[in-house]
């Protein structure tokens, strides 16, 4: 495998290789959600390097991992290493790093949270012993060693976060993120943009989920086989999503909170009541913070809302949203062996409605990717607005952004199946006028030429001739279709 065959990871590979090329001791940390591609990245960052020792820790005891590491080191170094001669992690790290005396060495300790062990005291003990050898031997003797620690979000960061023995010694750290809509599309390349968007809306940006899709397989076939079938690999991964995350205590509570958010609860109190019932005192806020750290939930509030405005909690991962929207409610039918029936009776006709919110997320990501090509500044704030005007009319604005030049950009996003007509522009203007009249200062700015970049309209199915004609006469209107979102930047 060459770097050119990887999707969206060239920057990380360049940085990892640069780290290893730096003379002297280098300690790196790669972390992130499970299945996001950390191991895959590390396996190819130094593919073919003759001085690389890679160890994948198992979900066993710390003691068992120590013995396994010594056995693999014996095979790699062709030195007879008796496990009883290295009875603790300090001696194991000592002999491992001793290999750097011969020549430059790269060591990858993958699934590092398993190596640390379960208890807080045990984690601190292992990291303290690693730190002692790092300071005394590796740095003390200036060995040409690159050590990469890699692991899951919660377990690894609990072991080496702020205040831990290794905290100040890490020279490179990176949180590997899921793919955005565009790079997710590269995983199912050769398909039309609309189908790529469907795949992103269902499988999200987790590479391992997308990699389960077979070449030439239809959307229905792929979703039914991998996602809906209880025997499907994506189904299994999502069913065990929280159990796989080392460091989470009582995953049932986290699942209850995820389900509450996925079904429309946005405030902490609503989530608590839906997940645990009236009168309960569960620490929902801490659970939400952990889920946010995992990239499963994000918070949003209205554009330019005040500091005391309430936050709304939303599902950040598209596959998790699809799971709770379509899979979890239909689990009885699915386990009865009827995934195709669920697709046709419960999903197919609702999929475009579901994609409406997904498309807003796609457009937000697309703006960051394409704004230079569209001749617009980067955003300093990108949000939406929903609420009531002074007449108690419900209003939603899909795009409300302040750009780096301090001007406002607003707009609408439509996951349409037919071209959008000019009426959308007039409706948008009417909503802005109502909000301006209701005291929303940013809406005043959006209506003024001197403080506005105009309006961005994005439609999956394009626009009517009348809308195109109006946009050709009015430079404040920008029309973008789905094909443009999936175009490569030059």
Q: Does domain 3-175 have CATH number 3.90.550.10?
A: no
Determine which helix (DSSP H) or strand (DSSP E) holds 426, and give its type and residue range.
Answer: helix 423-437
346-358: pLDDT as tens digits: 999 999 999 999 9
CB 148 within 8 A of CB 155: no
Residue (of 27, 3, 166) closest to 107 by Cα position = 27
In this structure, the number of other CB atoms found within 10 A of the CB of residue 393 comes to 11
Confidence of residue 121 (pLDDT cuts 50, 70, 90): confident
Mean pLDDT, all residues of the chain: 91
CB 370 within 8 A of CB 354: no
Give me the pLDDT at residue 34, please: 84
Annotation: CATH topology of 182-355: Arc Repressor Mutant, subunit A (1.10.10)
**Could you tell me the two tokens for 266?**
């946005």
CB 100 within 8 A of CB 143: yes
Confidence of residue 102 (pLDDT cuts 50, 70, 90): confident
Listed in sequence order, the residues at least 6 apart from 385 whose beta carbon sits closer than 8 Å to its beta carbon are: 302, 303, 395, 396, 397, 400, 435, 440
212-222: pLDDT as tens digits: 999 999 999 99
**Mean pLDDT value of segment 329-352:** 94
Instruction: Sketch the domain layout of the chain as residue ranges.
Output: 3-175, 182-355, 374-485
Cα(182)–Cα(193) distance, integer angstroms:
10
Looking at per-residue confidence, does 214 or 159 come out higher?
214
3-state secondary structure of 73: helix
Give me the pLDDT at residue 155, please: 58
CB 481 within 8 A of CB 459: yes
310-324: pLDDT as tens digits: 899 999 999 999 999
Comparing 279-288, 297-306, 361-370, which segment has the lowest mean pLDDT? 279-288
Q: What is the pTM of this model?
A: 0.90
Cα(182)–Cα(365) distance, integer angstroms:
9
Determine which helix (DSSP H) or strand (DSSP E) holds 482, and give its type and residue range.
Answer: helix 482-485
Give me the pLDDT at residue 186, please: 94
Give me the pLDDT at residue 154, please: 64
- Residue 365: is its pLDDT beyond 60? yes
Q: For tokens 């690389």, what's the residue?
A: 52
Give me the pLDDT at residue 157, please: 63
- Residue 158: is its pLDDT beyond 60? no
**Could you tell me the two tokens for 477?**
């209107």
Q: Which CATH class is domain 374-485?
A: alpha beta
């Amino acid at each position: 495998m060459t770097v050119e065959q990887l999707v969206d990871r060239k920057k990380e590979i360049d940085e990892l290789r640069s780290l290893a090329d730096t003379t002297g001791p280098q300690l790196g940390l790669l972390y992130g959600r499970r299945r996001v591609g950390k191991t895959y990245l590390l396996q190819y960052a130094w593919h073919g390097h003759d001085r690389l020792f890679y160890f994948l820790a198992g979900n066993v005891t710390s003691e068992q991992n120590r013995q396994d590491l010594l056995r693999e080191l014996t095979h790699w170094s062709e030195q007879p290493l008796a496990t009883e001669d290295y009875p603790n992690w300090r001696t194991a790290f000592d002999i491992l790093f001793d290999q750097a005396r011969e020549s430059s060495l790269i060591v990858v300790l993958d699934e590092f949270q398993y190596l640390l062990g379960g208890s807080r005291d045990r984690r601190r003990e292992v990291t303290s012993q690693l730190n002692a050898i790092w300071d005394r031997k590796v740095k003390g003797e200036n060995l040409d060693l690159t050590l990469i620690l890699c692991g899951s979000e919660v377990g690894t960061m609990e072991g080496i976060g702020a205040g831990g023995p290794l905290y100040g010694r890490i020279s490179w750290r990176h949180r590997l993120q899921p793919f955005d809509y565009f790079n997710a599309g590269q995983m199912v390349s050769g398909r039309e943009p609309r189908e790529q968007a469907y795949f992103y809306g269902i499988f999200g940006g987790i590479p391992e989920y997308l990699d389960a899709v077979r070449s030439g397989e239809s959307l229905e076939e792929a979703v039914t086989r991998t996602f809906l079938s209880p025997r499907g690999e994506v189904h299994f991964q999502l069913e065990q999503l929280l159990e796989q995350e080392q460091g989470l205590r009582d995953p049932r509570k986290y699942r209850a909170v995820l389900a509450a958010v996925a079904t429309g609860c946005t405030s902490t109190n609503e989530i608590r009541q839906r997940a645990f019932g009236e009168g309960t005192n569960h620490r929902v806020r801490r659970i939400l913070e952990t889920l946010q750290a995992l990239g499963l939930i994000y918070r949003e509030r209205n554009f330019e809302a005040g500091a005391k405005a309430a936050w709304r909690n939303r599902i950040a991962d598209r596959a998790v949203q699809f799971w709770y929207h379509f899979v979890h409610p239909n689990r009885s039918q699915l386990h009865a062996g009827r995934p195709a029936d669920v697709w046709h009776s419960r999903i197919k006709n609702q999929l475009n409605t579901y994609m409406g919110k997904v498309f807003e997320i796609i457009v937000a990501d697309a703006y960051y990717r394409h704004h230079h090509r569209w001749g617009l500044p980067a955003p300093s704030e990108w949000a939406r607005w929903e609420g009531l005007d002074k007449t108690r009319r419900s209003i939603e604005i899909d795009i409300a952004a302040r750009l780096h030049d301090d001007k406002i950009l607003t707009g609408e996003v439509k996951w349409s199946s037919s071209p959008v007509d000019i009426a959308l522009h007039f409706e948008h203007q009417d909503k802005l006028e109502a909000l301006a009249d209701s005291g929303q200062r940013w809406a005043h700015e959006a209506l003024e030429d001197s403080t506005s970049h105009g309006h961005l309209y994005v439609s999956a199915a394009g626009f009517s001739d009348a809308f195109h004609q109006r946009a050709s006469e009015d430079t404040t209107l920008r029309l973008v279709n789905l094909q443009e979102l999936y175009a490569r930047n030059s």
